Amino acid sequence: MFKIGLTGGIGSGKSRVADFFASWGAAVIDTDVIAHQLTAPGGAAIEPIRQHFGPDVISPTGALDREAMRDLVFASPEARHQLEAIIHPMIGSVTKRRADTAEGCYLVFVVPLLVESGRWRDRVDRICVVDCDSATQIARVRARSGLTSEAIGRIISVQASREARLAVADDVVLNDMHTSIEELERRARELHFSWCRQAQLQGGSQAAVSNH
């Protein structure tokens, strides 16, 4: 399948853009959704996290206590690496299984840390960045989560910079504070049509190769 890596900073609106693509027939695999499933009550990552970090990072419901873990990893880069060592291989395994059975006009991997990981350039045909400035990010995340500007700023500080994301982008969807839902949908739809055409061309090329 023709593969897209979709990324953007926190609060950029990448999930909404991914929902547009899914509604138009794309297969969408969101690694953030997979991470939440793995750290929900009974999720495969819960017991390894409990064993490594102790019960204080597990909520009474049995899910990962995200606030406690967020405080821990921001205070300790080592703790961040330890958490990533537990959960990233699990996310990768689930992502691969879902990709192997995905059906759609093209396949979108939604990866918040696509640029930071450095592992996606060779896995996808194009990288698409949903872009906005940091002030827009902070305003959106505060509105939806109630986190303080300081907490949001810490999250932004450990993500790739806006410039770094744009430097690797093949396609960009601007979604700043002046962008209406209608305009965002129009911008996404233009890319959808372009990717459908490229997917058809790629499929035709592969068929031609297999016939020789």
pLDDT digits (tens, 9 = 90+) for 149-170: 888 888 888 889 999 999 999 9
**Whether 129 contacts 176, CB under 8 Å:** no
Rounded mean pLDDT of the chain? 92
What pLDDT, on a 0 to 100 scale, did the predictor assign at position 145? 86
Asked whether the predicted pLDDT for residue 148 surpasses 80, the reply is yes
Alpha helices (runs of H) in 4-133, residue ranges in sequence order: 14-23, 31-38, 46-53, 66-75, 77-100, 114-117
Percent of the chain having pLDDT more than 70? 96
What pLDDT, on a 0 to 100 scale, did the predictor assign at position 206? 52
Contacts of 86 (CB under 8 A, 6+ apart): 45, 48, 49, 52
Query: Distance from CA of residue 129 to its chain's centroid?
Result: 10
Find the helix or strand (DSSP H, E) in which 182 lies: helix 181-210
Cα-based angle 43, 27, 116 (whole degrees, multiple of 5) = 65
Confidence of residue 204 (pLDDT cuts 50, 70, 90): low
**Whether 126 contacts 169, CB under 8 Å:** no
Contacts of 204 (CB under 8 A, 6+ apart): none
Q: What is the pLDDT of residues 58-113, one digit of tens each?
A: 999 999 999 899 889 888 889 999 999 999 999 999 999 999 999 999 999 999 98
Q: Note the pTM of the prediction, 2 decimals.
A: 0.90
Domains of the chain: 1-26+106-203 (3.40.50.300), 38-103 (no CATH)
Confidence of residue 125 (pLDDT cuts 50, 70, 90): very high
Q: What is the pLDDT of residues 25-40, one digit of tens each?
A: 999 999 999 999 999 9
State the amino acid at position 33 in one-letter form: V
Asked whether the predicted pLDDT for residue 192 surpasses 60, the reply is yes
